[in-house]
Amino acid sequence: MLHNFFIIHPPLCEREGQEENKILYFHPDLPLSQKLKQIGLAEALNSVSKSFSGNCEALRTRKFTHAFLEPEENFLISLSIKNGDTQYSHALLLSVLNDWYELFMRIHGNLTDLIEKIGLVKLKNLLSTFFGSFLETLGF
């Protein structure tokens, strides 16, 4: 059911060839080329929607339903599920993303402050520990 879940910080990719740097967390573990392909859709939709003074919160395709959340400036969180027999609303997926971010933030603090306080490597480890065990508990 879960296709992917990721958290990215695009400013960490300063030039071409450094795209991996922007990935703070990605589930499931895939080859980098596949991760970047999936991240590209989210970034493109986020960028285009800002051109129209808005945010793209969700997208439904034939195969997947995607939800996007920009909880802090320059951070993007995405959750994608495979479309199956049941229909999940975009609002439900966005609510899940909001709840997951809110839970993480209440326990650990916001992402911007964490990068400054503990550094990028420790933040990536913290996100991996938190969301990895979280997704495992949910059976994803």
pLDDT tens track of the chain, all 140 residues?
889 999 999 999 988 888 999 999 999 999 999 999 999 988 888 788 767 766 778 778 888 888 999 999 999 999 998 887 667 777 888 999 999 999 999 999 999 999 999 999 999 999 999 999 878 887 65
pLDDT at residue 41 in the model: 85
Q: pLDDT tens across 23-55, in order? A: 999 999 999 999 999 999 888 887 887 677 667
pTM of the entire structure?
0.91
CATH code for the domain defined by 2-137: 3.30.450.60
SS3 content of the chain, % helix, strand, coil (to 5): 50, 20, 30
> CA-to-CA distance for 34 and 120, rounded, in angstroms?
23
> How far is residue 109's CA from residue 133's CA, in Å, rounded to a whole number?
18
Domain chopping of the chain, boundaries:
2-137
Asked if residue 67 lies in contact with residue 90, where contact means CB atoms within 8 angstroms, the answer is yes
